[in-house]
Amino acid sequence: MNPLLRAPSRPSQPPHGAGLLAALAALVLLGCTPHFDWRDYQAPEGFVATFPARVQKAARPIDLDGLAVNMTMHAARVDETAFVVEVVHLPGASDSTLAKAEDAIVRGLVQNLGASGFKDAPVQIASVLPQAPPVAGRAIDASGAVSGQPMRLVGRVAMKGEWVYQIMVVGPASTLEQPAVEEAVDTFLRSVRLP
């Protein structure tokens, strides 16, 4: 047969449906990545933060080693992961009472997570006022299990004046290990500015 009369060859194409399978696989992978809808938030207590979803506020009484106080929680949830700033006001409290409250908050975080231990390191938290020095705090990283599910908490605890601040992200350990979520945790923690 004359080569000029042959039908032009077609480039090899994937089998029918392969494109559909690739698209479905991409959708499944996208479904595994949490959706973050970042928004700036200014709390009545004076701190500011950027949360990855709509913030809800609640208050509840708690016991901090025999010290009865009210804790106000500002939280946003993305899937099973919570981004939280909790605030305790201790009017007229001495420095030793504030330190005791800070230690009790850290112990409570670790116990609630069922963690046997945790990493604790110094950290600086920015101030709302540009010229003000940062606030010294503690960076906390703990892993445990809640109802048999491996969980992780990454957070910060700090005191300033009569206030104790607890800034944290808590969720399934496997979720917090995803690069996009690690970046979101870092974005949230670095966004918090204290009054």
Rounded to whole angstroms, the Cα distance separating 159 from 98 reads: 7
Rounded to whole angstroms, the Cα distance separating 155 from 120 reads: 10
Nearest to 93 by CA among 164, 162, 186, 177: 162
Rounded to whole angstroms, the Cα distance separating 165 from 124 reads: 13
Name the one residue in this structure whose structure tokens are 């330190």. Answer: 99
Average pLDDT across the chain, whole number: 85
Residue pLDDT, tens place only, 42-74: 999 999 999 999 999 999 999 988 888 999 999
> Would you list the DSSP string of 143-164?
EEEETTEEEEEEEEEEEETTEE
156/111: higher pLDDT: 156
Mean pLDDT, rounded, for 154-161: 94
Phi, psi values for residue 148, rounded to 5°: 80, -5
Mean pLDDT, rounded, for 185-192: 98
Residue pLDDT, tens place only, 5-41: 444 444 444 444 444 444 433 433 444 557 899 999 9
Residue pLDDT, tens place only, 73-101: 999 999 999 999 999 999 888 888 888 88
Q: Is 2 a residue whose pLDDT tops 60?
A: no
